[in-house]
């Protein structure tokens, strides 16, 4: 989707060829396979255990469009093929430099001419803080080989550090960082901060490595991260004096934000990227938004707020109507054309007499700004999810397979990890195969109250756990 905003023509996601390098047990690639049933997906990882677990999950979830292969990314077969999208999440910083070279070479070799690669890595300058905590923990656990004992010892030291009220600014900085680390899952702590290798890079270094392999920086995967908001005039002035180079500008944003982690999109070095965002691309996209109208309108207009606290306030009837519709449809998405119908009707009713092309142009601008402000999401195609439980609800087959396999969290159709809550939800999910009404579900669960089941179904729907199959005509 982002590629289209920059003037590229990558293959439509719904029929794309996707490769994940270092897929682990397939968490990302299986979730994409379910969301894009007509795409073909390949995951590779050197660890046989993860590949085996992922393959079993894919079978249990009935995913026939994904193949997981046990391969070292340093020895990929020449005939692996060409891919429209290549992703590698949580790998680049955590492998030796020889493997990093192989990863970028593989992206260059296997990425389609207008394809897009996603690579995440730890970033400087923020990771200096992380390095400090890592060094301290590495020394503390240096003689422990058992993973659980390592975790226990690391937790003990971290709890001790946060209890010591040493007033120096450096100690306070470390304390605050360690406090955050104490909230990490064991898996994250083990992989990120107790790993033998975790090499951060400045963005400019990462881009230099990529350029060396014939790849170019396209954008950050989360474009809102590239926005200058709430910075003082002096920072805007300094940015204004920088060379007209997107990487230099992004690098300074990392300095200002002390960024620790990046999710960078790359393309082939000779891909025809246009640097200014092309809002016309939005006309072919689908839009969704978790923003809800605030109960009280103020003199400035109607405010819509997301659960994360991002807000937009409008007095424009066309914007109000479009956001209202998105709020009603959430978590489902709406095609731009349908939003335009709604916006044009609202504009007509307000009597502005604007022609449809003008309403479309305004809606495109508003949606692009709302996307950059984290108010709306833009997608190349809709997710196969149900925003309402319906008569006989069906839960995501992948989520059901993950739960049956005993995973601590399941993947939603919004590509988030969801933990099932309470006593009812874990018993309800496996029953959602489309054969039972909510009354039958309540009976099967021996629930004292139908309302409890209805509430759980509504929560599943809002989290994107309820599924409806979509296939794209070929």
- Return residues touching ligand SAM (CB under 6 A): 22-24, 27-28, 45-47, 50, 72-74, 89-91, 94-95, 99, 191
Residue 401 CB, shortest distance to ligand SAM, in Å, is: 17
37 to each of 1, 30, 110, 388, 429, how far by Cα in Å?
Answer: 18, 10, 22, 21, 22
Alpha carbon 175 to its chain centroid, in Å, reads 29
Alpha carbon 87 to its chain centroid, in Å, reads 12
Q: Which C-beta is closer to ligand SAM: that of 97 or that of 148?
A: 97
Q: Which C-beta is closer to ligand SAM: that of 31 or that of 251?
A: 31
Q: Which C-beta is closer to ligand SAM: that of 19 or that of 39?
A: 19
Q: Which C-beta is closer to ligand SAM: that of 193 or that of 438?
A: 193
Residue 345 CB, shortest distance to ligand SAM, in Å, is: 43
**Start-to-end C-alpha separation, the chain:** 20
The residue to which tokens 């939603």 are assigned: 412
Q: Which two tokens stand for residue 264?
A: 């960078």
Q: Which C-beta is closer to ligand SAM: that of 50 or that of 126?
A: 50
Residue 438 CB, shortest distance to ligand SAM, in Å, is: 34
Q: How many CA atoms lie within 13 A of 56 on its CB side?
A: 12
Residue 44 CB, shortest distance to ligand SAM, in Å, is: 6
Residue 222 CB, shortest distance to ligand SAM, in Å, is: 16
Nearest to 22 by CA among 85, 83, 68: 68
Alpha helices in 164-223 (DSSP H): 169-182, 186-188, 203-212
Q: Which C-beta is closer to ligand SAM: that of 102 or that of 428?
A: 102
CA dist 181 and 186 (Å) reads 10
* Exposure string over 240-263, b if 16+ CB within 10 A, otherwise e: eeeeeebbeebbebbeeeebbebe
Residue 39 CB, shortest distance to ligand SAM, in Å, is: 18
Q: Which C-beta is closer to ligand SAM: that of 89 or that of 374?
A: 89
Q: At what angle do helices 246-257 and 203-212 cross, to 10 degrees?
A: 150
E-strand ranges in 57-214 read 66-70, 83-88, 111-122
232 cis-preceded (ω within 30 degrees of 0) = no
């Amino acid at each position: 989707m982002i590629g289209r905003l920059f003037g590229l023509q990558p293959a439509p996601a719904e029929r794309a060829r996707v490769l994940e390098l270092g897929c682990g047990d397939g968490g990302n690639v299986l979730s994409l396979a379910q969301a894009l049933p007509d795409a073909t997906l390949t995951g590779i990882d050197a660890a046989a255990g993860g590949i085996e677990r992922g393959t079993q999950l894919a079978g249990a979830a009935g995913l026939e469009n994904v193949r997981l292969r046990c391969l070292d990314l340093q020895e990929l077969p020449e005939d692996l093929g060409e891919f429209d999208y290549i992703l590698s999440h949580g790998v680049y910083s955590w492998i030796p430099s020889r493997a990093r070279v192989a990863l970028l070479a593989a992206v260059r070799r296997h990425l389609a001419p207008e394809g897009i690669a996603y690579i995440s890595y730890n970033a400087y300058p923020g990771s200096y803080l992380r390095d400090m905590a890592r060094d301290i923990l590495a020394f503390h656990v240096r003689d422990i080989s058992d993973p659980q004992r390592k975790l226990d010892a690391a937790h003990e030291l971290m709890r001790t550090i946060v209890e010591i009220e040493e007033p120096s600014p450096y100690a306070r900085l470390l304390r605050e960082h360690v406090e955050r680390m104490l909230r990490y899952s064991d898996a994250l702590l083990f992989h990120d901060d107790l790993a033998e290798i975790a090499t951060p890079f400045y963005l400019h270094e990462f881009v230099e490595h990529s350029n060396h392999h014939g790849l170019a920086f396209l954008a950050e995967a989360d474009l809102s991260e590239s926005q200058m908001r709430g910075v003082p005039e002096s920072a805007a002035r300094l940015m204004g004096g920088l060379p007209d180079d997107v990487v230099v500008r992004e690098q300074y944003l990392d300095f200002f934000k002390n960024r620790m982690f990046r999710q960078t999109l790359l393309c082939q070095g000779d891909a025809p990227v246009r640097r200014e965002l092309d809002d016309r691309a939005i006309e072919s996209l689908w839009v969704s938004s978790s923003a809800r109208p605030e109960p009280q309108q103020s003199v400035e207009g109607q405010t819509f707020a997301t659960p994360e606290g991002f807000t937009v306030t409008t007095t424009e009837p066309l914007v109000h109507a479009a956001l209202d519709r998105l709020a009603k449809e959430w978590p489902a998405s709406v095609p731009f054309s349908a939003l335009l119908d709604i916006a044009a009707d609202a504009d007509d009713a307000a009597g502005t007499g604007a022609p449809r092309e003008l309403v479309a142009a305004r809606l495109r601008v508003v949606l692009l700004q709302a996307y950059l402000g984290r108010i709306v999401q833009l997608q190349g195609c809709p997710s196969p999810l149900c925003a309402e439980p319906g008569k006989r609800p069906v839960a995501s087959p992948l989520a059901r397979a993950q739960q049956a396999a005993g995973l601590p969290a399941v993947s939603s159709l919004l590509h988030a990890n969801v933990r099932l809550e309470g006593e009812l939800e874990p018993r309800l999910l496996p029953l959602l195969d489309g054969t039972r009404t909510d009354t039958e579900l309540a009976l099967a669960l021996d629930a004292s109250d139908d309302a409890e089941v209805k509430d759980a179904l509504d929560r599943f729907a809002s989290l994107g756990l309820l599924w409806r199959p979509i296939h794209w005509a070929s």
